[in-house]
Amino acid sequence: MSTTLVSRLIPVLLVVAALVPTSAAAAPVAGSLCGGDCDGNGEVAINELITGVGIALGSAGAATCVAMDTNANTEVAVNELVAAVGHALDGCPARVPGVETVAGVVLSVTRGAAGLSSALLATVAAVNASAERTRLASAEETGGPAADPCPLGGTNERLCENVNPLTIRQRFFWDECGVARPVGSLILDGEITLTAPGICPGTILPVGIATTIDLLVALADPDGGMRRARIVAAGTLDSVTLGERPCPIKGGEATLTGTVTSDRPGDPASTMELQSTQFSIEFRDFAGNCEPATATMVLDGPLVIADRQAEPPVDIALTAQALRVVQRLGDAAEGTAELDGRLDADCFGGAVTLDTSTPLAASLGTACPVAGAVGVSAGSGAATIFFGESAPGDAGDQAVVIDNGLDGQPDATYGSCVDPALRTCGG
């Protein structure tokens, strides 16, 4: 499509729009993802272009064709008309079905993985610290007392008991245990139990460890922002990756069934259900308290994103295929996250591939990522989901903007990531 052709068409449309009533347009379709496609049939017709010009001139309201107002500001600008003319001439770009739902799922899975990795991190830190205390005691080393596991208050205790002559059960308890982070703090409350062959007080065979988790993890920042994750799950730590002291446990593989519920005061909760879901996790860049700066989790198997108290209820069944979630602590309490790999769901028409181009950056003081961009592809369709400041234009630091078809035009704009449309099957 040439610029000359567009420039010739716009004046013609202006004249026609002045002569033809805008009521001749098809009924508006909310959420249409092709700019100018008022009736959502995948094409932009001449009467729809005329309607768009009428909205631009003020003779019709934006509700007459919500698909023309791609940035949802209740107006139609020249660039939106140009995009609509392009779609009329060249056809609507190949789209990703249900991409709005994909946007909501991206956030829910990222937060669920963050909560799960926090629980495993707490386990790793406790086991690492316990092993180091045992080593120092047995070697009668005099390097000073072991570091306080709860320097900001609360307690962390360990109980080791013999189940039979060959099997031990290690139970770790946290009671409002506060741990400093690069920014803010981590508060743990609950219990994790590990059962496997071993010898009390602290030697356990790192293969096939029966595991139960009932733990509340709360992240807090200095300004009072907070996000919580409650993990209730059971399964098996299939293997543990070991390395050098003083933080010998570097990761592992597990299979778990249970729930990870994430929430922030005042915002809707989101639950990620694990159904014998397999995953691996790797911790890197350990600090002095054996807390890593980087956690990489790879999920494989069934997941469900649920909020059955919502109206309408949220219940999205997924299958993760080598879905990689990387979390990095930075200069914010939640740091950044990247999501790459495949998700399969009937809800959005089959498998999609995710590719994070700009890491999702979150603040505990806000409901949504303040920046980030995730590419989505399915078949011949492709889209980009923008969050906050990474979105084109000035949509707002809590907005979610979708470019479906990669034509450089926003096809849908949501003022917040908690918009119900992003939590509903099919968008």
For position 334, what pLDDT does the model report? 63
Which two three-digit tokens encode residue 63? 């509700």
Rounded to the nearest angstrom, the gap between the alpha carbon of residue 298 and the centroid of all alpha carbons in its chain is 14
pTM for the predicted model, two decimal places: 0.78
Dump pLDDT digits (tens) for 27-38: 434 444 678 888
For position 211, what pLDDT does the model report? 93
Cα gap 277→234, rounded to integer Å: 11
Provide the β-strand partners of residue 157. Answer: 173
For position 254, what pLDDT does the model report? 93
For position 27, what pLDDT does the model report? 42
Cα gap 410→216, rounded to integer Å: 38
For position 25, what pLDDT does the model report? 42
Q: Among 310, 321, 377, 302, which residue's Cα sits nearest to residue 99? A: 377
Cα gap 168→184, rounded to integer Å: 36
SS3 at position 367: coil
* DSSP-derived secondary structure letter, 153: S
For position 130, what pLDDT does the model report? 60
For position 260, what pLDDT does the model report? 92
CB 81 within 8 A of CB 10: yes
For position 143, what pLDDT does the model report? 43
CB 318 within 8 A of CB 345: yes
CB 386 within 8 A of CB 401: yes
For position 426, what pLDDT does the model report? 58
Residues of the chain predicted below pLDDT 50: 1-7, 12-32, 139-146, 427
CB 389 within 8 A of CB 400: no
Which two three-digit tokens encode residue 22? 């805008």
Q: Domain extents for the chain?
A: 8-90, 101-330
14, burial (CB in 10 Å: exposed 0-12, middle 13-18, buried 19+): middle
Cα gap 297→112, rounded to integer Å: 11
For position 376, what pLDDT does the model report? 94
106, burial (CB in 10 Å: exposed 0-12, middle 13-18, buried 19+): buried
